[in-house]
Chains A and B, each alone.
Chain A
Amino acid sequence: MDVRAILLTGIPVDATNVSAPSASAPETFSGVPLSLLAVLGRPLLHRIADRLKQSGVDSVSVLNAADPSLALIAGARRADLNWTDVSPEHVWRAAEEEFDRLVQAGAEIVLVLRLGAYVEVEIDPLLQFHLDQRNHTTQVVAGDGPLDFFVLSGSRRNDAAFLLRSRLTKMRVQTKPFFTDAYVNRLQNAQNLRQLVLDSFALKTSIQPVGEQVRPGVWVGCGARVDRGVRLVAPCYVGASSKIRAGALITRGSSIEHHCIIDCGTVVESSTLLPLSYLGAGLDLMHSVVGTKRIVSVKYSAELAVEDATLVSAVPATSALRTLSHATNLLAFVPRQMIRSIFGQRKLRKSHADVECPEPTFDPGAVARPVAQDRQSLTSTVVAGMRDYGNQ
């Protein structure tokens, strides 16, 4: 059977609102859909697509309505996915056209997922249910409510068009839904993203960290540089090409994604650093998600845009820019230190002679007494006394 899939990302949650997702919109982090963010080394979209392909889905098409110029979104593209960037206004029309194209190419069943939620539904039982019930359209329902996950029969074009034109809110013919007890994470906010990471460490999901398990519960990605003085406390993950500098501590289910830099002495506790993030020296990051110069605190339920590059900043997206940035920093280091020493507020104080210090003419030998003369000889009485009072 020819089964194909359409994945929709970056679509605003509110079906009536077709404007581009804002920085604080649900299901996004700084305008990037949470489903396109890397979790333990690989974007969730890739994980979902790979899972579909392993279940026998022939091809996966991605329709992205988020801003494609963002570095994190560009990093989620992959050659084997039929990726199309569309505007939020035209995404549903594009989905309809994609459905037609897939059917003309021979698809008998088309899966439509809006990401959205991360789901690990078994595809074989779902398809079997769809065929057994002779449904035109089957919706997947989890324990906490329906999901934007539909199975459409290729021969029922009108049903598919109705569903897509209603933005996955209405079906032309109401059919029996497929109930699943599989793992579902709604990915509404940063807290859900953190929960997904923790659930993955706890083996509640099928997500495997990408990298080598250097110690039980500690994964380090390819090309990551971890200083000797760094403490990695399981469970934690350090992504590919990340740098963790001396004295840092990564603990309590923290996830450092690829190309991140954590400066000296910083503590990262129960937090996620999204790809290409820099975290400054001597900081204490707890229960937060950091990325694109933003911190979202799970503890305070607040988002903070950080303009101070000494606290949080972004690492350049391309390797050429990164090399240029490092070279510039290196060249600017010495002049910067010189300028600081000349014009900075912190100047070296003149040392003053301590009035209580002995004069230079003072001879220590004149007051020295031979220590051996004061010592008592170790008689049995003295030793007994030492034993009695030794612990004091």
Chain B
Amino acid sequence: METSRPVVVKRMPENVNQRESRKFLQDVQPFLTADRPQLVFDLSLVKQLDAAGVEMLLHCVSEVMKRDGDLKLASLSRQAAMVLELTRTDRLFEIYENSTEAARSFSGFLPNAMRPAPSYQQTVGPERLAA
């Protein structure tokens, strides 16, 4: 099932606190409000992620879902993975090892889209990675 709609990949900043979250949200707002948006957030740089950052992610996914799109996360740093697990939000997102995999997953069937978990997530089953 090929799609011609673009996949937007955004890299999140190192410190995702309230201020940075607001700024990041302003940056991605045009993409969130597009028709059936396809977004990938790259969290490889993230060292700090607080409750405001998690709330911003949830806001983004909610906006995207409203418009029949999807938001996927890629290249989670260990710290980001810890916070998402701590706040029980990891199960709400599809998480991929890198942005390329995540972008490719938009154009494939779900079984083809699934990839092995990142090396630090070996203990997590593949079904956990799917939303």
Q: Which of A282-323 contact B (CB under 8 A)?
A: 282-286, 288, 295, 297, 299-302, 304-308, 310-311
B-contact 0/1 string along A130-151, CB 8 Å cutoff: 0000000000000000000000
- Of A295, A307, A310, the residue contacting B82 (CB under 8 A) is A295
Question: Are B78 and A310 in touch, CB under 8 angstroms?
Answer: no
Q: How many A residues have CB within 8 A of the partner chain?
A: 19
Pick the 10 closest A-B CB pairs, nearest first. A308-B50, A302-B78, A300-B78, A284-B88, A304-B79, A308-B51, A310-B51, A297-B82, A300-B120, A304-B82
Question: Are B82 and A311 in touch, CB under 8 angstroms?
Answer: no
B117 to chain A, nearest CB (A): 12
A284 in contact with B85 given A305-B48, A310-B51 (CB within 8 Å): yes
B110 to chain A, nearest CB (A): 26
Decide yes or no whether B9 CB sits under 8 A from chain A. Answer: no
B89 to chain A, nearest CB (A): 10
A282 to chain B, nearest CB (A): 7
Question: Are B88 and A283 in touch, CB under 8 angstroms?
Answer: yes
- Of B48, B51, B79, the residue contacting A302 (CB under 8 A) is B79
> How many B residues are at the interface, by size bracket?
10 to 19
B95 to chain A, nearest CB (A): 13
Decide yes or no whether B131 CB sits under 8 A from chain A. Answer: no
A300 in contact with B82 given A282-B88, A283-B88, A284-B87 (CB within 8 Å): yes
The CA of A299 and the CA of B85, in the complex, are separated in Å by 11
- Of B17, B81, B86, the residue contacting A307 (CB under 8 A) is B17
Decide yes or no whether B83 CB sits under 8 A from chain A. Answer: yes
B21 to chain A, nearest CB (A): 11
A-contact 0/1 string along B14-25, CB 8 Å cutoff: 000100000000
Instruction: Note all chain A residues with C-beta closer than 8 A to B86.
Output: 283-285, 295, 311
A311 in contact with B78 given A283-B87, A285-B86 (CB within 8 Å): no
The CA of A284 and the CA of B85, in the complex, are separated in Å by 7
The CA of A307 and the CA of B83, in the complex, are separated in Å by 12
A306 in contact with B50 given A284-B87, A286-B85, A300-B78 (CB within 8 Å): yes
Decide yes or no whether B123 CB sits under 8 A from chain A. Answer: yes
Instruction: Note all chain B residues with C-beta closer than 8 A to A284.
Output: 85-88
Question: Are B79 and A307 in touch, CB under 8 angstroms?
Answer: no
B94 to chain A, nearest CB (A): 19
In the complex, residue of chain B having the shortest beta-carbon distance to the beta carbon of A296: B82
In the complex, residue of chain B having the shortest beta-carbon distance to the beta carbon of A306: B50
A-contact 0/1 string along B41-72, CB 8 Å cutoff: 00000001011100000000000000000000
Instruction: Note all chain A residues with C-beta closer than 8 A to B88.
Output: 282-284
Question: Are A301 and B120 in touch, CB under 8 angstroms?
Answer: yes
The CA of A89 and the CA of B125, in the complex, are separated in Å by 49
- Other A-B pairs beyond A300-B78, A307-B48, 19, CB < 8 Å: A282-B88, A283-B86, A283-B88, A285-B86, A286-B85, A297-B82, A299-B120, A299-B123, A300-B81, A300-B82, A300-B120, A301-B78, A301-B120, A302-B82, A304-B83, A305-B48, A307-B50, A308-B52, A311-B50
Q: Which of A319-351 contact B (CB under 8 A)?
A: none
In the complex, residue of chain A having the shortest beta-carbon distance to the beta carbon of B18: A308
Instruction: Note all chain A residues with C-beta closer than 8 A to B120.
Output: 299-302
The CA of A286 and the CA of B90, in the complex, are separated in Å by 13
B-contact 0/1 string along A249-268, CB 8 Å cutoff: 00000000000000000000
A136 to chain B, nearest CB (A): 48
Q: Which of A231-274 contact B (CB under 8 A)?
A: none
